[in-house]
Structure formats: structure tokens, C-alpha cells
Amino acid sequence: MKRFFEIGGVVAGVVLIAFGAAAIVLGANGKNTIGNELKQQQIVGTPDMTPKGIAAEVTSAKLKDVGPGKAIPLPTCSVANLPINNGDRARCFAEYMKIHALEATGGYVYAQMGIYTAAPNAPKSQLMPGGGTDNTMYAAVDPTTNQPVQNGTRNVWVTETALTGALNSSYMADQMANFGMVVGVALLLSGFGFMILALGGALENEIWFFKRKVVKDASSAKAAPLGV
């Protein structure tokens, strides 16, 4: 039985080591893929992408919901003039993009802006808070196509959301790759631990914390009491 457990411990250790090595390799490959994909986009942070720079812009634009203690906090990281080539920088760049989009829309988000550019005579009841209208009857018409004119400001927000979503996905994937490598290291250590315990004689017939060996010593034996 002891031999069986020793072999089982070695096998379990080998399996854990194999899985750990695979997890580290997969995590490293994933991290490299994310970095390469980001490099191909050739994204570079703009000079204002610092906490101090963006704070000045928000103050100038008078964005009511953006700033310290408000619904949309200011970024605390900095990627000014830096290439966006890893998940952390991608996440930081996405935070600044959101502020830039709010500056372009006057602080309004997607749901607050109309699909179409409103006609000059559109009634106030048909206008959205952030400008534009969803009613084609009161939309400006393109004289060339005779179709309602799309709200360009709203399209800015749509584009920003798509790009920041991709950047945030890169950040999440990068973190998952890091997690995979950490798990891989843990599996490697566990595997080596199993093998050391199995081969180092940890599995003995005498379980030391349940049994105690009795030491027989003639000198310590007591004489039997005499009958009275």
C-alpha cells in the first residue's frame, strides 16, 4: 500500500508540473499576442493624457459630471506621448478617451443625444437633452440624398464606446494572462511538493501523529507489588 501511494504521489506531482508549465506558456503567449496586437494599432497617448492636463481641460469645458467626487472620476494614470503596447496602458488610454468624448458632446452620453440632427424649426418637445432628435419629421434633411442627417456628435460617442471597449478588453485579457501564469507557478510548486513528499519517505507505516512507539527499557520497569 505504501508503494502504491508513493507512485500515486509521483504521478500527481508530474501531472501538476505539466499543467503548471502549460499554464505559464499559454499565459505568456496570450500576453505577447495582446502586446503585438496593440503595437500594430500604433496608438500613442496625446500630450494632455496626464492627471494635471486632463483636469485643466475638464475645468475649461465645465463638464458637470466629471471630476473628483463626481459620477465620472478623472484618470489617475498617465500615458502622455507613450505607445499603447500593453493592457495597463490600454486601460489608461480608454479612460482619457471617455473624457475626450464627453468634451466633444458637451458632457452628454449616448442616450441623451438624438439620432438625427434637428431641423431649425423643430419644437423643443422633440429635442433630446444633448441635442438632435429621434423623430425623422423634425430632422434636418440632406439635399443630396433626401435622407435625415445623422447626428455627428452622437456618432462621436458611438465610435469612442467601440474603441474603449476594445481597449478595455485588451486590459482584461492581459490580466487573465497574468492570472494564468500565477496559477501555473502555483501548480508547479504543488507538483514539486507532491513529488518530494512521495519520494522523501513522508508516507510511512507508522503515522507519527497517531501512534507513539513504546520504548522498552529494563531499567525503567517497576517491580510488581507484593501481596499483603
Asked if 76 contacts 95 with a C-beta cutoff of 8 angstroms, the reply is no
Pick the closest to residue 23 from 189, 192, 183 (CA basis): 183
Indicate if the pLDDT at residue 219 is higher than 90.
no
In this prediction, what percent of the chain has a pLDDT beyond 90?
68
Of 15, 16, 6, 18, the residue nearest 197 (C-alpha): 6
C-alpha cell at 163: 474603441
Of residues 67 and 93, the one with the higher pLDDT is: 93
Quick one: average pLDDT of 165-179? 95
**202 or 190: whose pLDDT is higher?**
190
Helix (H) or strand (E) holding 178: helix 152-199
More confident call, 198 vs 220: 198
Residue 153 has pLDDT above 80, yes or no: yes
Q: Looking at per-residue confidence, does 41 or 2 come out higher?
A: 41
**pLDDT 10s digits, 45-72:** 999 999 999 999 999 988 888 888 788 8
The residue-averaged pLDDT of 146-159 equals: 93
Given a cut of 90, whether residue 20 has pLDDT beyond it is yes
Predicted confidence band of residue 201 (pLDDT cuts 50, 70, 90): low
Mean pLDDT over residues 184-193, rounded? Answer: 92
Nearest to 147 by CA among 136, 131, 135: 136
What is the average pLDDT across 140-164? 93
User: What confidence tier does 171 reach under pLDDT thresholds 50, 70, 90?
Assistant: very high
Give pLDDT tens digits for 27-51. Answer: 999 999 999 999 999 999 999 999 9
The predicted pLDDT at position 205 comes to 47
What is the sign of the dihedral through the CA atoms of 149, 151, 153 and 154?
negative
pTM of the entire predicted model: 0.78
Average pLDDT on 14-35 reads 94
**The pLDDT of residue 204:** 55
CA angle (150 as vertex; 101, 97 as ends), nearest 5: 10
Computed over every residue of the chain, the mean pLDDT equals: 86
pLDDT band at 197 (very low <50, low <70, confident <90, very high): confident
191 near 14, Cβ under 8 Å? yes
